Chain A
Amino acid sequence: MMLKHIAKIALNLTVICFFAGTVLGLVNLGTQKAKEENQHKREMLTSMSLLGYGAGNPAPPDLEMRAVSRYLLSVDGAPALGYVLPVDNNPVFIVLSVEGEKLLEIPAPDAHQADINQNLSSLMGKEVSGLRHVEDYRIALLDGKVLGYLIVGNNLGFKANIRMMISLNADFSVRGMAILESEEDPGLGDEAKEPYFRNQFAGKSAEQLARTGVSTSPQPEEYRALLEAQPEGHFTAEEMERLRTVYGDSPIYSITGSTISSTAVTVGVQKAVSRFVYRLQQVNAALAAARTAPPAPAGEPEEEGV
C-alpha cells in the first residue's frame, strides 16, 4: 500500500518533469537562432559604439574588422594554444606551447573539418587532441593601421555572470567599456551600464588599469560631470586627454550599495585586458621569431607595447 503511494507520487512528478523538459526543450530549440542573432546584432552595435561610431558618426567604409580566434588543444598530452589570425592578409593557424614556443604554423585549416585533430597530428608528428574554440578577439583596422582591439570579458556578478566588451586603442589603453549581458539588480548593480560608472575605464593605460582599485568613496563631482558629458562614451580628443592625464590614476568609484557588482566588473575588465595583452605579445613574439619583418596587423603595436 505504502509502496503504491510512493510509486504514484514518483510517477506524478516524473511525468510532470518530462512534460516541463519537453516544453522547455522545444521552446529553446525554436528561439535559439533568434537569440543568437540578437546577441550578434547587439555585439556588433556595441563594437561600433565602442570604436566611437554611432548614429551621428557612421563608420567609414574602409573600416575593417578582423578576428583572432583562440583555441585550446593538447599536444602529446601537454596543453597548448592555437590561434587563427591574419598574417599578411592570409589566415594562418599557429600552435604555441604554454611557454610561447611556436610548434606549428600552417595556412588556417577549415575549422569544420571532422578529422582536424588527425590532420594536425600527422602534420606535427605528435598526438593532437581536444581542439576547441575558446573565444574571438576583434581587431579594427583603418587604412591598414590598427585602430583598436575589441575583447570580451567575463566575471561572476552579484547573482549571474556579467559579460562586458572592452575597446582598446592600438597602445592597449582603454577606449571604452560596455556591459553586454548582466542580470544585476536595477538601481543597484545594473547602474554599471550608466556613463558615470562604465566610462571610468576610458583613458586608462593597461598598467594603470592593472593597478587600479575599487573605491567606495563618493565620486568627485567634476569627474562625474566629465564622464557623463558623453553618455555613449564618444569623448572628444580634449575630454579623452583630461581623462588620461587628470584621472588616469584615479580608482574606479563603486556604485553606491553595489560594491560587489562594481568590483566584479572592474576585475572582469582587468583580467580580460591583461590576458589579451599577454597573449597578443606571445603570439607576436612567436611570429616575429621566424620572420625579419613584423607581421601585420597583429605585430603593429609592438613599439608602443606594454
Chain B
Amino acid sequence: MSGFQLIVRGLLAENPVFRLALSMCPAVAVTTNVKNGFLLGCAVVFVQVMSNLTASALRQFVHQRVRVVIYTIIIATWVSAIDMIMGAYLPDLYDQVSLYIKLIVVFAIIISRMELFASKNPLIPSLFDGLGMGLGFMFGLMMIGAVRELLGSGQLLGFDLLGTKPLLIMILPAGGFFVIGFLMAIFNTVLKKLGLGAPPAGGHH
C-alpha cells in the first residue's frame, strides 16, 4: 500500500473511532466542542507517529516476551514529550487539554497500531500508518465535537450560531454516546455506498 492509501485507510476504512471503535473514552470525554477534539487529535497524531516510528525501528530488537513493557515505555516517553512541549510553547491551549494529554498513555489505538502494524513493517509505511490513524482519530473527534457543540451549546468553534442551546444533554457524557452511535451509523452507511463496506474479518493485517 502506498503512503496515500495508508492515510486514507486510517481516515475511512479503518477509522479508529467509527470503524475500529478504539479509544472510545476520550471520544466521549473531550468532544464537547470542536477545538478540544482538534487539540487532542494533534497530540495523538504526534504520539502515534513517533511511537510507530520507534516501534518500527526497534522491531528486530524487541524481545517478544517483553514487547508490551517496551511499547508502554515508548508511548509514555512520547506522551511526556508532547506534554512538556505543549506546556512550554502553547501554555493557554495546554491548560484546556493538559489532563487529557496525559491520558494518551492509555489510549488503545496507539499500542494497537504498534502491535498490529509498526512491529511488522518498515519505517516509511509505519510513518504513514501513524499519520493515517492519528488523522482518522482527529477527524472522528472533530466530527463528534462539531455535532455536540452545535446541538449542546448552539455554537461552532466558539461562535454563537443558534443563539440557543437546543439539546443540553449533548454536552453531557450521555450525549457523547448518542452522537458517537449516530455518527457511526451514518459513517458506515456512507462508506457502504462508496463501496468501502466492512473490512474482511481481522482487517487488512
* Partner-B contacts on A (CB < 8 A): 8-9, 12-13, 15-17, 19-20, 23-24, 27-28, 31-32, 34-35, 38, 42, 183, 185-186
Contact = CB atoms under 8 A, between A and B. Distances in A.
B70 A13 contact: yes
Residue in B54, B81, B99 whose Cβ sees the most chain A Cβ within 10 Å: B81
A27 B73 contact: no
A32 B98 CA distance: 17
B63 A35 contact: no
Interface of chain A, main secondary structure: helix
Given A9-B63, A186-B99, A34 B73 contact: no
B65 interface: yes
Contacts of A183: 98-99
A34 B89 contact: yes
Contacts of B85: 27, 31
9 contacts: A9-B66, A13-B66, A13-B69, A19-B54, A19-B77, A20-B73, A31-B85, A38-B91, A183-B98
Given A8-B63, A12-B61, A16-B58, A35 B73 contact: no
Interface in B10-52: none
Contact of B73 (A17, A31, A38, A42): A17
Contacts of A24: 77, 80-81, 84
Given A28-B84, A31-B84, A186-B99, A12 B77 contact: no
B193 to A, nearest CB: 40
Contact of A31 (B54, B63, B76, B87): B87
Given A8-B63, A16-B58, A186-B99, A27 B74 contact: no
B61 A15 contact: yes
A9 B73 contact: no
Contacts of B77: 19-20, 23-24
Given A27-B84, A34-B89, A42-B91, 10 more contacts: A9-B66, A13-B69, A13-B70, A16-B73, A19-B54, A20-B73, A24-B77, A24-B81, A32-B88, A35-B87
Contacts of B87: 31, 35, 38
Contact of B74 (A8, A9, A16, A35): A16
Contacts of B98: 183
A12 B63 contact: yes
A83 to B, nearest CB: 32
A157 to B, nearest CB: 14
Contact of A16 (B70, B80, B88): B70
Contacts of B99: 183, 185-186
B80 to A, nearest CB: 6
